[in-house]
Structure 1
């Protein structure tokens, strides 16, 4: 299990720039222990495949199941991901080049995010805008305007880091020495899936991979304080990101 890859998923870690960006970024950090943090159980996910034919993945080892599930998601090219972590939530449709959805940060407000290629737009709510303006010493953000920039802009790049395109371009794999075990096949949110469990010191994280249709990674449940819950669905469905309508202002340079 590559720690830097697992921590990619919505870890709230220290980064350069303002103190406010530390709490909002979802950028990578090699110092993270593993994938970030636990939350409430995600909402129901869609079926892995209309055909729903058995794929036999449950016959593989725990590592092979995990790796295959992550690679299947990447091969789909796009999917819908819902994440929940200690009051922080994201609901995003993503691909390697597009992203659209919302991010809610506990006590810090929320923002809409759209990414299309190098172009990134974000629209904060009033709480998020106020906090960011205070941190950067400007009044660039407001709840009635979209802010626009490219991936070369530090602020926009960090907001867009929640989109996690690396799940498509560089899917995670378990390290050979990761002590994961294969669980039973069960019904998970209405579909058959096999569990891969990583347990340590009385806590655990469980990954579920569909045993019918394509072997997609569909869900993660965790009891750990440094791990999140998430659900993936709508594999291969176009993100359809479009430039927003309404007032748009240029992103400030940090």
Structure 2
């Protein structure tokens, strides 16, 4: 599920960045096409980035196994930290990955959506009541700790793979319905950006690229025909936060699997 989520996000970014040549307009600065090309190039070259996906489209709302929102800082070494929220009551999870270690903290709704046969609620209750010293007194739930070798957590490794994201971005299509045109300079969170407007598959597309070099993609939106999606990109080249859940707040995945077998 989660690796597919990353690929879908990358494909969405590729879709938004892969546009037709810009309309020729007398302008002292870079053309719309040049700005889009440089933004894509900088996204392909970065060693790390913080991305956010918000999908309010009709299809996304019905997909329990696909995120309607994703907030991840990730790098080429496979480290990441962030959250995923699924559509249609599919729940959410917190995710941290450092090297080969993976921490995952799903909520009850996630277990119910992901575990087949109506057993999700029972699994969620079992998970909540596992022995974990400090959390037991506060009523909190633990975080699962495992490795990239564990089948339950293996797919999460793909979610944290910036290289895979960039590969999908690189191989995205290269045609659109209309050429890009430059809009008037504006600001997003205090950063000066130039909106690049066009359509793709009949949907309105806007890329917001920094006015100053290096020209980077800050936000991309696409709307129309059941689609309402926004992608934001921040912290190019910034290290992924290295903090991990405290040992007292975690339960080893082996313990969880053992409890599931004996339940």
Report the TM-score when normalising by structure 1: 0.66
Larger Rg: 2
1:68 is matched with 38
2:12 is matched with 35
Q: Does 1:113 align with 2:92?
A: no
Q: 1:128 to 1:77 in 2, by over 3 A?
A: same
Which aligned pairs between 1:108-187 and structure 2 lie closer than 5 A? Answer: 108-134=90-116, 139=123, 142-143=127-128, 144-163=141-160, 165-166=162-163, 169-170=166-167, 172-173=169-170, 175-179=173-177, 180-187=179-186
Task: Tell me, in whole angstroms, the C-alpha distance in 2 between the residues paired with 1:250 and 1:57.
Answer: 58
Report Cα offsets for 1:79-115 as digits up to 9, x if no partner. 2222111262122211122110111113111100011
* Contiguous gaps of at least 5 residues in structure 2: 14-26, 62-67, 129-140, 258-263
Would you identify which runs of 4 or more consecutive aligned residues in structure 1 move more than 6 Å? none
Which aligned pairs between 1:1-254 and structure 2 lie closer than 5 A? Answer: 21=1, 25-28=4-7, 35=12, 58-62=29-33, 64-86=34-56, 88-96=68-76, 97-106=78-87, 107-134=89-116, 139=123, 142-143=127-128, 144-163=141-160, 165-166=162-163, 169-170=166-167, 172-173=169-170, 175-179=173-177, 180-189=179-188, 190-200=190-200, 202-224=202-224, 225-226=226-227, 228-245=229-246, 246-250=249-253
| 1:124–1:142 CA contact under 8 A, matched in 2 | no
| 1:82–1:89 CA contact under 8 A, matched in 2 | yes
Q: 1:57 to 1:70 in 2, by over 3 A?
A: farther
* Contiguous gaps of at least 5 residues in structure 1: 1-20, 37-55
1:42 is matched with none
RMSD: 3.6
Task: Tell me, in whole angstroms, the C-alpha distance in 2 between the residues paired with 1:127 and 1:69.
Answer: 37
Task: Tell me, in whole angstroms, the C-alpha distance in 2 between the residues paired with 1:125 and 1:221.
Answer: 29
Task: Tell me, in whole angstroms, the C-alpha distance in 2 between the residues paired with 1:74 and 1:65.
Answer: 14
TM superposition shift of 1:60: 3.7
Which structure's residues are more often helix, by fraction? 2
